[in-house]
Amino acid sequence: MALFLAPASWGQQQQQQEQKYEFKIDCQVKRTPAKSQGATSTCWCFAGTSLLESECIRKTGQEIELSEMFTVRHVYPRKADNFIRLRGAATFGGGSMPFHVPMSVMVNGIVPDEVYSGLQPDQTRHNHRQLHTELQATLEPAFKTGITQEWQKEFTDILDKHLGEPPQSFKYNGKTYTPQTFAQDALQLDMNDYIVISSFTHHPFYQRFRLEVNDNFDYYDDFYNVPLDELEQIADYALKNGYSFVWNGDISEPGWKSRQGYAVIDDPNSEDPGKELKVNQEIRQEGFDHRKTTDDHAMHTVGMAHDQEGNKYYLTKNSSGSDGPYEGHVYISCSYTRAKMLFMVVNRNAVPQDFARKLRIIRR
């Protein structure tokens, strides 16, 4: 059953929360329960996959837990190919971008988690340390030989050993699918609908650009750029109209308290420890320019809430399992989001019409 948190009473929330923050949910979308990414760098895939799961519920009413590792399995070779062709002048690791999920689904399809979990029979938790070590060891020799059939086979064999061989076809609910037909027929989503929106002044507004972060390994340059206030308005409009989005950004601030279930950004010039920084475009840009805002983590924002003072928060599904007071969810303040969310991935139809016109986005 899709996870749908009922707003708790003020008293219940006060018992849950170690700090002074008490939250009440204003709106939320249906979603699957929070999962754990374990000892991996695949938050990008958990966030992007969770977005598609909620989109499937919104579109079809069906809850399907999708396989994160099926996508991870298909994105790894792309990263390695890029790394070798650029002779190491690129990033190779477990990290990627959440928009690589719909991009992969367009080409490779997707399968339910019960069909391909990426876990070995003796595993209950994802751990990619050995996988990554073995994959990394194949890359340096490939600098000399280039991309050969022998290297491709060795790389594929390592992936299959640790994650399992991906299925060519499978049965689900009495029907036989390929990964591609499952993506088309069961999800009923158009992967071209998912766009990326950001806000930075070192690129022109209302144009598209490439965000300069390492995990953007294929130099994706379709980030739509809008002023910060409009980015917030798009986020709010999406959530109020039954959509959700991927929150990708920085979680290194002292006010990031995921164990306590919230994230705030304190005002360093205030003696009141509870007063948040008022974040404008300049503050946001300085954080990125000075490398204080970095590409740390991706999560799935599923709702809006407010605290006892009326301050706005975004209810966000993390990928650390169901730990914490809110079953694996974090309430991220609006100020924290304005400062630290590098970009969002959202359905194009969740963008208000007036902003869509400015960005030349065609809503379907």
Domains and CATH numbers, the chain: 10-359 (3.90.70.10)
Q: Quick one: pLDDT at residue 149?
A: 94
3-state secondary structure 281-326: HHHHHHHHHCCCCCCCEEEEEEEEEEECCCCEEEEEECCECCCCCC
pLDDT of residue 6: 45
The reported pLDDT for the residue numbered 273 is: 62
Check residue 2 and give its pLDDT.
52
Tell me, what's the pLDDT at 307? Answer: 96
What are residue 114's phi and psi, to 5 degrees?
-70, -20
- At residue 17, the pLDDT reads 41
339 CB-near residues (< 8 Å, 6+ apart): 265, 277, 279, 283, 284, 287, 293
pLDDT, residue 12, reads: 39
Q: What is the pLDDT of residue 323?
A: 86
Q: Which structure tokens are listed for 52?
A: 């598609």
For strands 208-209 and 223-225, give the pairing: antiparallel
Dihedral over alpha carbons 318, 320, 325, 326 (to 10 degrees) = 30
Check residue 205 and report its DSSP letter.
T
* Alpha-carbon gap, residue 166 to 177, rounded angstroms: 13
pLDDT along the chain (364 residues), means of 10: 46 47 97 97 98 98 98 97 89 94 98 97 95 94 90 97 98 97 98 99 98 94 99 99 99 94 89 83 98 98 97 97 94 98 99 97 89
Nearest CA-CA partner of 296 in 328, 340, 245, 235: 340
b (16+ CB within 10 A) / e for 313-344: bbbbbbbbeeebbbebbbbbbbbbbbbbbbbb
Q: How far apart are CA 59 and CA 190, in angstroms?
A: 11
pLDDT at 19: 56
State if pTM tops 0.95.
Answer: no
